[in-house]
Chains A and B, each alone.
Chain A
Amino acid sequence: MNLRRRFTRTLPLAPAVVLILLFLAGPIAYCVYIAFTDLQLTGQAHASFVGFANFRHAFEDDAFLNAVWLTLVFTVLSSLVGQNTLGLALAALMKRASKPVRTLTGGIVVTAWVLPEVVAGFLLYAFFRREGTLNAILGLLHLPRENWLFTLPVLAVSFANVWRGTAFSMLVYSAALDEIPSEISEAAEVDGAGGWRRMWHITLPMIRRSIGTNLMLNTLQTLSVFGLIWVMTRGGPGNKSQTLPLFMYEQAFQNSMIGYGTAVALLLLLVGSLFSVVYLRLLRTEV
């Protein structure tokens, strides 16, 4: 193929590549650079290079370690356990349920997913407030009420993330379950395997690739949740629900330490890339 032809064929890629390089790759490269400087929001003419000081500072900073811990709790609770398990349960139940129930439930769960992030935040804020719906229900059942957003904020935002994000897992698993040939589970049923055993020995091994990709995507999605937590708790009270994105924001803007905030962002990006690479490997054979 001659050069000119190759050039005209590649040309349509140019606008997309330019945009991505300028506005996505550029900021990431800039991120790597300023994470090693003491850049601040105001006053300073130019920042100076400080090496690994921001990272050393991070690992000695209790507030950072707290954010790492909360991010871990938030991710494990809401994505690995909540969205994933509930999504699978919904998908499995839907296979057996009658059509109107299936349509209704699917519609409601998906609506929660399609809703704008901030609206979802407000709905769950109202739900968990002291005078909100959850406490009203607990009161009706004569169960102890709690000021959820104050005493157990991580739990509240994790539930919110489950409410909002489960639809994705549900759709992924519904598609995966539909691909299992019905003869296989029928044969197992004839051989006398009960529901749980069929799930454990047949269904789960057959959809393990979907489980892998779903876990990866859920985790990546959950790592970058900002608006939902911001609306519900602002990371508080104190920093009891301050996950890494909120910590990053606070350091960079409330404390105007852009360099430090960016170092945190870079760590978040590294963790994300790691998951991203694993995700690519899971898909490797198909690309």
Chain B
Amino acid sequence: MARSRASGRFAADVSLLLLAVAFALPLAWVVLSSVDPHAGLRVRVPDGLTLDNFDAILTPDITYTPLLNSLILCGGATALTVVCAALAAYPLSRFRSRLNRPFLLTILFATSLPITAIMVPVYALFVRVNLIDALQGTILFFAASQLPFAIWLMKNFMDGVPKELEEAAWTDGASSLQSLVRIVLPLMGPGLAVVTVFSFVMMWGNFFVPFMLLLTPDQMPASVSINDFFGNRGTVAYGQLAAFSVIYSTPVILLYVLVARRLGGGFALGGAVKG
């Protein structure tokens, strides 16, 4: 049996490596092209290494402004999401109420709705209330769309903090808000990090929402401005497109690695799938 297990492992290793290569090909293209002086559409080993592609795009116009916009948009919306979700999760996790279950079910239901579908009415609504092309409008919508899942995750993490620790503080006269900020949130640090990073990563990569709600080019986040590499610049400089993609993707990959390490890979899935 030991021998069949060893050959089973070998077969599994080979199949996995083949799949890994298939998945890696498009990723290899972006990494190699970004340093290739003559980048095309095909994966190939560059005939010389260059940083010209990065040099060409590291200008306020192409890179810094869109990334800063992304940061303002996603940072603002993430902060709003995390604060609102932490506040909302507290009573849901700590106090019994007949409303908890229906509320949580509604939240879970909203979590899985296709948000893409409501972008047209959101656009029509935003035109009416004059929020089109306003960063704060986009931030508010981003936060609202992320909130159901954030509340759900936050509540599950908060349930893991034992209530006894707070009871001492309550007898000493602390208010709920004080015990939330001083005791519960510090104790659920990793959970808080997961909610924050997850919200941020989701919005950083989101294309459709800012594409619909923002119009002015110098307000566009990187997810939309990346389209400029096509369109009016004539021929596409693939090397520059690849270099931009690398810069734009790196923060979310780093954030993911940071959180995934700490939580052993499963990331936010525990909350989503296990219920």
Contact = CB atoms under 8 A, between A and B. Distances in A.
Contacts of A195: 8
Given A16-B85, A24-B144, A126 B26 contact: yes
Given A224-B116, A248-B120, 20 more contacts: A9-B91, A12-B90, A15-B83, A16-B88, A22-B144, A24-B145, A101-B12, A111-B253, A112-B27, A115-B253, A116-B249, A122-B245, A126-B26, A126-B238, A195-B8, A217-B272, A223-B114, A258-B123, A269-B114, A275-B112
Interface stretch (A50-58, A59-67, A130-138, A150-158): A130-138
23 contacts: A9-B91, A13-B87, A16-B88, A20-B144, A23-B144, A28-B121, A93-B16, A96-B11, A101-B13, A109-B19, A115-B249, A118-B207, A133-B25, A133-B42, A163-B26, A171-B265, A171-B266, A217-B272, A268-B114, A272-B117, A275-B112, A287-B101, A287-B104
Nearest to B211: A227
B121 A34 contact: yes
A168 to B, nearest CB: 8
B108 interface: yes
Interface string B84-103: 11011011100101010101
Contacts of B91: 9-10, 12-13
A284 B146 CA distance: 22
A108 B87 contact: no
Contacts of B115: 224
Interface stretch (B53-61, B161-169, B198-206): B198-206
Q: How large is the interface on A (under 10, 10 to 19, 20 to 34, 35 or more residues)?
A: 35 or more
B16 A90 contact: yes
Nearest to B110: A24
> Top 6 nearest A-B pairs by Cβ distance?
A116-B205, A23-B144, A227-B207, A224-B114, A224-B116, A16-B88
Interface of A: 6, 8-10, 12-13, 15-17, 19-20, 22-24, 26-28, 30-31, 34, 39, 86, 90, 93-94, 96-98, 101-102, 104-106, 108-112, 114-119, 122-124, 126-127, 129, 131-133, 136, 163, 168, 171-172, 174-175, 189, 195, 210, 213-214, 216-217, 220, 223-227, 230-231, 245, 248-249, 252, 258, 261-262, 265-266, 268-269, 272-273, 275-277, 279-280, 283, 286-287
A272 B114 contact: yes
B216 interface: no
Contacts of B51: none
A143 B71 CA distance: 46
A273 B113 contact: yes
A115 B202 CA distance: 10
Given A10-B91, A20-B110, A117-B206, A262 B120 contact: yes
A102 B238 CA distance: 32
Contacts of B269: 168, 171-172, 175
A109 B274 contact: no
Contact of B274 (A105, A189, A227, A286): A286
Interface of B: 1, 8-9, 11-13, 15-17, 19-20, 23-27, 29-30, 33, 40-43, 80, 83-85, 87-88, 90-92, 95, 97, 99, 101, 103-105, 108-110, 112-125, 140-141, 143-145, 147-148, 151, 176-177, 180, 201, 204-208, 211, 222-224, 226-227, 238, 241, 245, 248-249, 252-253, 256, 260, 265-267, 269-270, 272-275
